[in-house]
Structure 1
């Protein structure tokens, strides 16, 4: 009986050792996955874009053009347009248009009336009226001192174009300052009708 137990224990020990040997052999010869040489991926969070503020599109100007133009009517112009653009929209000036009496570079505003005078026309209406310019003809409400104003400032007056403005400056330099606003009528090209168009918009400071 004791001999049988001894053989049984030896058998159990043998099986245990065999299991360890077989398991170690299998583990040793089992291929392992190769190590990756690639760097670990880094997750970078991208900030959300800042929304662009909404900018409304400026509305076009609506300008009524009449007088010495080829096709009078109401025209839509881009913001910042000038009198020259309005005349071009009306298919250009007619042959008898008096463009020398107009400041073609004057900027327009919405709902204004542009009148292009004819050569020799007596007492024509203001070149620009209505809109934000209604009431003073200039859109600024300021008066122009004819004794100190530059040619560009004089051109803001109705019916005073670049050539007439330069004549005023030259007359003032040759004859001294104007004693009164009526004295500007001594400048060639400025008669009573033209003077009446800007009489309330000028001063003659001494």
Structure 2
């Protein structure tokens, strides 16, 4: 079908006006679309990391580990499951030594051993059996045997058993156990005066004991 102006119904002037009007309408429509949609979105920029031709620096080697602390050698004897020479870190206690030797045997008399006593390098630790007599010549650290008495006859606070502590004036079973418990929890006594830190023992009791006790 031919357009109206080709059918002879429009004059040349009307055709020219119609074309001009159509162009104006198209321009208006295009401008309106531009306002609504806004500017065309710019394509997202792609970030390109700068390539470095330099090789990665080699990770420095870790420093050598520090040498282990000096170890102590302790000879464990007596009523333990596995007597022998064992290694310990400085500051270890008799209790650790007994455990490392497999633990005490059934006949062991642990009441005669100061489990809280510190170990020392080269020492010999003897765990006596119940009723066993140990020669006085065997001066063994940590054992509460004949070494519980000093050469002047005083009783060593860090070596005496509960029975030996009860030989002191004013010390009964409860106070003797309190002294041993204090040793186990706080380590060996460092002075006679420290005895007043034990529950139930005051200055008056200490004055009675000064000539009977020693810290060695």
Higher relative contact order (CA 8 A, sep 6+): 1
Instruction: Using structure 2 for the length normalisation, give the TM-score.
Output: 0.41
Q: Which has the larger radius of gyration?
A: 2
